[in-house]
């Protein structure tokens, strides 16, 4: 397999999504250097564009827009700002809040790639006559044995971002360009390349956490939108061991910040096992009760044709998580997955991404899980 741009043998019209960071700036510069007709665009996604980042957090601010414009000027490409704030709020921010309201733990980066960068942005780009959208993601698009485009991990597995791109379908991959995906350069070397190119963002800190929560206080953000609602913290037998001010403040596998007044009988730490928005309760228990042996995922997204039946794959459960062997089978609008060994920290709402070697097979949103040790029946007295 060889790396394949959206088309070969001709100069492409490329729309480079420029966040104002170093990766997207270098990606745009490489696309232009390769001879493509590149136009830079910064997506205004914040409903309050006058806000500025806090430290290295946040994105899509006035500061970022200016950094992106300066980078485009240095590269020598046209530059525009497109306002997608309303679409971003509806498809990403509101979805994030709604998922937490239902006791699930979403990944907004996947939703942004699916709904904004490779749906709203790509659709607009194609309507304007562009051939491809270019981003600074670390992943590769290759042409497989049958000529179909496939999404693969980046050459440097330490920087790989294919997990957050696992929602892209074959049509979207046909118009995606990731100039950084085939590089084994360290982040320091990417910054050095930006410096050589005269890009002022060479020394700009990376953004992190959730981009629309600039101060990094996810709990405070959710409390502001969902409000406080006192509820019970229960053990596996259904006994009350504490109270909370909002179930949305907890995630499956959480250990710290539980504020449980009653210690466990064995003295061992307890973890969040379940969140019930209907009863507004949080269930806690020992670490071994977090072990998951199987799950069902919904809303499958296939990076090409779905598997014809059950098969052996590896799965990744979080953006920087390790791979784990699984067997998986498409079942209509579901994917049924069984793990070779129990795994922990699996929460409904998270994405599971399936791989065949370095190739991304597809992804789904975790709906239900099966524990290795079934929960004990509540003690009704």
pLDDT in tens, 158-199: 889 999 999 999 999 999 999 999 888 788 899 999 999 999
Whether 85 and 107 share a structural domain:
yes
Whether 156 and 284 share a structural domain:
no
What is the rounded CA–CA span in Å between residue 278 and residue 267? 30
What is the rounded CA–CA span in Å between residue 315 and residue 366? 12
Whether 152 and 63 share a structural domain:
yes
Contacts for 298 with CB less than 8 Å, ≥ 6 apart: 333, 334, 335, 364, 365, 367
Are β-strands 240-244 and 176-177 bridged in parallel, bridged antiparallel, or unpaired? unpaired
Convert the pLDDT of each residue in 56-98 to its tens digit.
444 567 788 999 999 999 999 999 999 999 999 999 999 999 9
Whether 278 and 350 share a structural domain:
no
Residues 306, 362: contact at Cβ < 8 Å? Answer: yes
Tell whether 223 is covered by a domain: no
Residues 260, 271: contact at Cβ < 8 Å? Answer: no
Residue 366, domain extent: 291-371
pLDDT band (50, 70, 90) for residue 378: very low
Whether 277 and 304 share a structural domain:
no
Average model confidence (pLDDT) across the chain = 88
DSSP per-residue string spanning 107-159:
-HHHHHIIIIIIIIHHHHHHHTT--EEE---SEEEEE-TTS-EEEEE-SSGGG
Whether 59 and 146 share a structural domain:
yes
Across the range 229-237, mean pLDDT stands at 90
Can you say whether the dihedral through the CA atoms of 362, 297, 338, 249 is positive or negative?
Answer: positive
Place of tokens 């597995």: 157
* Cut 0.85: pTM above it: yes
Known catalytic membership, residue 60: no
> For residues 338 and 101, which has the higher predicted lDDT (pLDDT)?
338
Whether 237 and 93 share a structural domain:
no
Tell whether 267 is covered by a domain: yes
Are β-strands 13-17 and 132-134 bridged in parallel, bridged antiparallel, or unpaired? parallel
Q: What is the CATH number of the domain that holds 331?
A: 2.40.30.10
Residues 44, 84: contact at Cβ < 8 Å? Answer: yes
The pLDDT, as a whole number, for residue 68 is 95
Convert the pLDDT of each residue in 28-49 to its tens digit.
999 999 999 999 999 998 766 5
pLDDT band (50, 70, 90) for residue 112: very high
Whether 332 and 322 share a structural domain:
yes
Whether 356 and 282 share a structural domain:
no
The percent of residues in the chain predicted with pLDDT above 70, rounded, is: 91
∠ CA 200-205-208, nearest 5°, is 135
Known catalytic membership, residue 112: yes
Tell whether 381 is covered by a domain: no
Convert the pLDDT of each residue in 271-288 to its tens digit.
999 999 888 999 999 999
Whether 25 and 86 share a structural domain:
yes
Whether 285 and 308 share a structural domain:
no
pLDDT band (50, 70, 90) for residue 146: confident
What is the rounded CA–CA span in Å between residue 154 and residue 152? 6
Residues 214, 54: contact at Cβ < 8 Å? Answer: yes
Tell whether 301 is covered by a domain: yes
Nearest C-alpha neighbor of 15 from the set 127, 167, 170: 127
Q: What is the CATH number of the domain that holds 133?
A: 3.40.50.620
Of these residues, 59, 60, 211, 303, which one is catalytic?
211
Tell whether 220 is covered by a domain: no
What is the rounded CA–CA span in Å between residue 131 and residue 114? 18
The pLDDT, as a whole number, for residue 376 is 52
The pLDDT, as a whole number, for residue 313 is 98
Tell whether 378 is covered by a domain: no
Whether 357 and 284 share a structural domain:
no
pLDDT at 381 over 70: no
Tell whether 349 is covered by a domain: yes
> For residues 11 and 216, which has the higher predicted lDDT (pLDDT)?
11
Residues 55, 1: contact at Cβ < 8 Å? Answer: no
Residues 305, 144: contact at Cβ < 8 Å? Answer: no
Of these residues, 59, 112, 134, 303, which one is catalytic?
112
Tell whether 330 is covered by a domain: yes
Q: What is the CATH number of the domain that holds 245?
A: 2.30.30.280
Across the range 299-314, mean pLDDT stands at 93
Query: Which burial class, exposed, middle or buried, applies to 372 when counting CB atoms under 10 A from its CB (0-12, 13-18, 19+)?
Result: middle
The pLDDT, as a whole number, for residue 208 is 63
- List the 231-234 sheet strands across, edge first: 240-244, 231-234, 281-285, 271-276
End position of a domain, from candidates 268, 289, 310: 289
Look at the chain and report how many structural domains it folds into: 3
The pLDDT, as a whole number, for residue 1 is 40
pLDDT band (50, 70, 90) for residue 209: low
End position of a domain, from candidates 203, 219, 247: 203
């Amino acid at each position: 397999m060889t790396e394949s741009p959206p088309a070969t043998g001709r100069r492409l019209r490329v729309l480079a999504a420029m966040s104002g960071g170093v990766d997207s700036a270098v990606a745009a510069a490489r696309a232009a250097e390769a001879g493509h007709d590149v136009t830079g665009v910064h997506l205004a996604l914040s409903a309050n564009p006058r806000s500025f980042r806090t430290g290295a957090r946040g994105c899509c601010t006035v500061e970022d827009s200016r950094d992106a414009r300066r980078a485009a000027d240095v590269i020598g490409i046209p530059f525009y700002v497109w306002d997608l704030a309303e679409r971003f709020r509806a498809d990403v921010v509101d979805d994030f809040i709604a998922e937490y309201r239902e006791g699930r733990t979403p990944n907004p980066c996947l939703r942004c790639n699916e709904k904004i960068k490779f749906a709203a942005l790509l659709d607009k780009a194609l309507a304007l006559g562009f051939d491809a959208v270019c981003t600074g993601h670390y992943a590769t698009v290759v042409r497989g044995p049958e000529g179909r485009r496939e999404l693969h991990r980046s050459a440097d597995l330490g920087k790989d971002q294919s997990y957050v791109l696992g929602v892209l379908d074959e049509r979207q991959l046909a118009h995606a360009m990731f100039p950084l995906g085939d590089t084994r350069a360290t982040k320091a070397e990417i910054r050095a390349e930006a410096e050589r190119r005269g890009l002022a963002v060479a020394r700009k800190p990376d953004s992190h956490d959730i981009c629309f929560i600039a101060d990094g206080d996810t709990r405070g953000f959710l409390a502001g939108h969902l409000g406080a609602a006192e509820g019970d913290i229960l053990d596996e037998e259904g006994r009350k061991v504490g109270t909370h001010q909002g179930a949305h403040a907890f995630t499956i596998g959480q250990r710290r910040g539980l504020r449980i007044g009653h210690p466990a009988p064995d003295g061992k730490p307890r973890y969040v096992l379940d969140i019930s928005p209907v009863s507004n309760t949080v269930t806690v228990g020992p670490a071994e009760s977090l072990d998951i042996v199987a799950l069902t995922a919904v809303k499958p997204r296939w990076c090409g044709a779905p598997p014809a039946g059950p098969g052996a794959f590896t799965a990744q459960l979080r953006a920087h998580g390790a791979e784990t062997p699984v067997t998986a089978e498409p079942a209509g609008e579901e994917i049924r997955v069984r793990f070779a060994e129990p795994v922990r920290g699996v929460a409904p709402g998270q994405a599971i991404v399936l791989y065949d070697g370095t190739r991304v097979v597809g992804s789904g949103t975790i709906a239900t899980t099966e524990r290795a040790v079934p929960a004990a029946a509540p003690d009704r007295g």
